[in-house]
Amino acid sequence: MNIVDQVRQAGVVGAGGAGFPTWKKMSAQAECVIANGSECEPLLRVDQQLMTLYACELVEGMKRVMQSTGARRGIIALKEKYEKAVIALEGCPGRDSIEIHLLENYYPAGDEQALVCDVLGKIVPEGGIPLDIGAVVQNVGTLINIHRAGGGAAVTHRWLTVTGAVGSPKTIIAPVGTSVRDALAAAGGPTVSPYTVIDGGPLMGAESTGVVRKTTTSLIVLPADHKVVRYKRKPIDQDVKIARSACEGCRFCTDLCPRFLIGHTLEPHAIMGAVSYQAVEEIDPLVISQAYLCCQCGLCGMYACPTLLSPERIIKACVESLKSSGAAPLHRRKVREARPERDYRRPTVDSLVSRLELEEYDVDAPMETKPLEVNAVCIPLKQHVGAPCVPLVKKGDMVKAGQLIADIAEGKLGAPLHASITGVVSDVTEEAISIRA
Ligand code: SF4
Ligand code: SF4
């Protein structure tokens, strides 16, 4: 079996949070593979430790992707501040000609298009993907899973940082489908009440659905009245109403937007101005279609806007509305150079931590390399981009850890699911498969 089929069978998906099925990306032909080790969201401590602990597995995964895509160039991009990881990667005997590219500590260094711009000096065309300029970008955790898939290991566990208001912040290896309650207990449990749990980083993450998924990079416990939680809970219609009176047209959201800075036609202040007074379908198509170019990094609302409006959430709603009306993206321009002001308009992660009032939670979260043991898991059937998986087991079946329990339908995009613990299937619904140890 070739490596792409092995990766597909192992259920590998993008581990950086997006969940795109990895076999699909590996099926393309490319000139260059970039390992994304930037880990740019505040408080996350996963990728920097993976690159230190499993440096050689990462390199082997990289070689497999280079082989499958025909890429002659491989580059591991990580922040200069991850000194231990840099040393581990430089000392990896099999690294051969794979290059190491050091990044500064800004946000969102891990946005694929910003990363490609930094590493290759090339701009992905508007509405395009890195492959359009010959690059494939893979998260470092994904690359380790690719290497393991080559040895027949399915994705059954997830590395994640459990941090924020918990007794002992740490990075754990948890079976996919572990309850948030069990994951928090492994880090000493919440230290505040009431609290909210964010799945993912403070900017791009959302309130947890209650279980650890293949795409869960972190669980961050915050007091329920914390600034970040209040921001995420604001109703969108309230946001639009407030924008009418509070949007000053100051352009700060545009000036700091990473996609604007790489030269794309995305001006969130223009979208905000239009949405405040017109229904989406009445807005100039060339303005509203800019929404398709947004990567949802959250910088415009959570960092740039002086009145804490939420351009990224309004833009997300605009995209949903455009898609449901069948409106095609209008901006497809090729861009040669990033805007010159990009060099001095990228906020550091430290400044984000401060702006979001997260200083007290910006602490180490050392990796616990012994996988967490749990008595039960609830494995969602949709944890990836594409169609949900179809269950292959029924209530009462015995399953072993690593056994295939759900697969994607013929011809659909997706990634299969495997039992993350050995036990008995206790429930199968349209949403998930539960297993009791
Ligand atoms: S979320 Fe805001 S800052 Fe980020 S890409 Fe979209 S418009 Fe730009
Ligand atoms: S930064 Fe805020 S106030 Fe300024 S233009 Fe953007 S949304 Fe309006």
User: Which atom of ligand 1 is found nearest the CA of 268?
Assistant: 7
Q: Are 67 and 137 in a shared domain? A: yes
pLDDT over 90 at 277, yes or no: no
Is residue 296 domain-shared with residue 399, that is, in the same domain?
Answer: no
In this structure, are 365 and 388 located in the same domain? no
Here the tokens at position 145 are 């899973």
Best residue among 41, 204, 287, 296 to mutate for probing ligand 1, ranked by most atoms within 8 Å of CB: 296
| CATH number (domain holding residue 386) | 2.40.50
Cα separation, 83 vs 74, whole angstroms: 20
Looking at all shown ligands, the one closest to residue 298's CA atom is: 1
Is 274 part of a structural domain of the chain?
yes
Of 112, 65, 56, give the one whose Cα is nearest residue 89.
56
User: Which strands, in side-by-side order, build the sheet including 390-391?
Assistant: 390-391, 404-407, 417-418
Q: Is 256 in the pocket of ligand 2 (CB under 6 A)?
A: no
CATH number for the domain including 62? 3.40.50.11540
* Same domain membership, residue 107 and residue 8: yes
Residue nearest to atom 4 of ligand 1 (CA): 297
Does the pLDDT of residue 114 top 90, yes or no? Answer: yes
Number of folded domains that form the chain: 4
- Could you tell me if 177 and 265 lie in one domain? no
Predicted pLDDT of residue 246: 86
Is the CA virtual torsion 174, 175, 180, 182 positive or negative? negative
Q: Are 251 and 322 contacting, i.e. CB atoms less than 8 angstroms apart?
A: no
The C-alpha atoms of residue 369 and residue 159 are separated, in whole angstroms, by 9
**Residues near ligand 1 (Cβ within 6 A):** 257-259, 266, 268, 294-300, 311-312, 315
Kindly state the tokens that stand for 353. Answer: 């931590």
pLDDT band at 138 (very low <50, low <70, confident <90, very high): very high
Say whether both 19 and 63 belong to one domain. yes
Whether the per-residue pLDDT at 94 is higher than 90: the answer is no
Instruction: Measure the CA–CA gap between 77 and 306, rounded to whole angstroms.
Output: 32
- For the domain that residue 210 is a member of, what is the CATH number? 3.10.20.600
Asked if residue 253 is part of any domain, the answer here is yes
Cα 406 from Cα 417, distance rounded (Å): 5
Q: How far apart are the first and last CA of the chain?
A: 32
Q: Same domain, yes or no, for 212 and 198?
A: yes
Q: Ligand 2 within 6 A of 244 CB?
A: no
pLDDT of res. 146: 98
The more confidently predicted of residues 179 and 243 is 179
With H, G, I as helix, E, B as strand and everything else as coil, classify residue 323.
Answer: helix
Q: Which ligand has the shortest distance to the CA of 252?
A: 2
Cα separation of 377 and 373, whole Å?
10
201 shares a domain with 65 = no
pTM of the predicted model, to two decimals?
Answer: 0.96
- pLDDT for 279 equals 82
Ligand 1 pocket mutation pick from 299, 305, 313 by most atoms within 8 angstroms of CB = 299
**Exposure of 355 by Cβ count < 10 A (0-12 exposed, 13-18 middle, 19+ buried)?**
middle
Residue 271 lies in a domain: yes
351 within some domain: no
The confidence score (pLDDT) of residue 248 equals: 83
Decide which of 116, 150, 184 is a domain's last residue. Answer: 150
For residue 317, what is the enclosing H or E element? helix 311-324
Instruction: Quickly state the pLDDT bin for 307 (edges 50, 70, 90).
Output: confident
What pLDDT band is residue 151 in, cutting at 50, 70 and 90?
Answer: very high
Q: What's the gap in Å between 406 CA and the centre of ligand 2?
A: 45
Residue 266 belongs to a domain: yes
Q: Which range has the worst mean pLDDT, 104-113, 146-155, 205-214, 270-279? A: 270-279
C-alpha 288 – ligand 2 centre gap (Å): 16
Please state, for a pLDDT cut of 90, what percent of the chain lies above it: 90
Closest to 105 in 3D by CA, of 122, 87, 83? 83
pLDDT tens digit sequence for 373-399: 999 999 999 999 999 999 999 999 999
Residue 86 banded pLDDT, cuts 50, 70, 90: very high
19-60 pLDDT per residue, tens: 999 999 999 999 999 999 999 999 999 999 999 999 999 999
- Identify the domain boundary among 100, 117, 150: 150
- Asked whether residue 292 is assigned to any structural domain, the reply reads yes
Residue 254 has pLDDT above 90, yes or no: yes
CB atoms within 10 A of CB 285: 12
Same domain as 128, residue 42: yes
The torsion angles phi and psi of 286, rounded to 5 degrees, stand at: -70, -25
Q: For ligand 2, atom 3, which residue shows the shortest CA distance? A: 247
> What would the pLDDT profile of 161-186 be if each residue is shown by its tens digit?
999 999 999 999 999 999 999 999 99
Whether residues 384 and 368 share a domain: the answer is no
Q: Do residues 51 and 65 share a domain? A: yes
Supply the range of the domain harboring residue 292: 233-346
The mean of the pLDDT values for the chain is 95
Which pairs from 306-311 meet CB under 8 Å and 24+ separation?
306/248, 306/250, 306/252, 307/242, 307/246, 307/247, 307/248, 308/231, 309/239, 309/242, 309/243, 309/246, 309/247, 309/253, 309/272, 310/231, 310/234, 310/236, 310/239, 311/253, 311/268, 311/269, 311/271, 311/272
**Closest ligand to residue 297's CA:** 1
Q: At 32, give phi and psi (nearest 5°).
A: -145, 140
Question: Which of the listed residues 257, 287, 305, 315 should we mutate to test ligand 2's pocket, taking the one with most ligand atoms within 8 A of CB?
Answer: 305
CB 379 within 8 A of CB 420: yes
Q: In which band, very low, low, confident or very high, does the pLDDT at 18 lie, cut at 50, 70 and 90?
A: confident
**Span 294-316, average pLDDT:** 94
**Same domain membership, residue 418 and residue 272:** no
- CA 218 to centroid of ligand 2, rounded, Å: 29
How confident is residue 238, by pLDDT bands cut at 50, 70 and 90? confident
The β-bridge relationship of strands 73-79 and 170-175 is unpaired
Nearest residue to 389 via CA among 367, 371, 369, 405:
405
Domain-located, residue 102: yes
Cα separation, 297 vs 170, whole angstroms? 25
Q: Is the pLDDT of residue 278 over 90?
A: no
Distance between CA atoms of residues 26 and 236, nearest Å: 37
Q: Where are the beta strands (DSSP E) in 200-323?
A: 206-207, 218-223
Residue 352 in domain = no
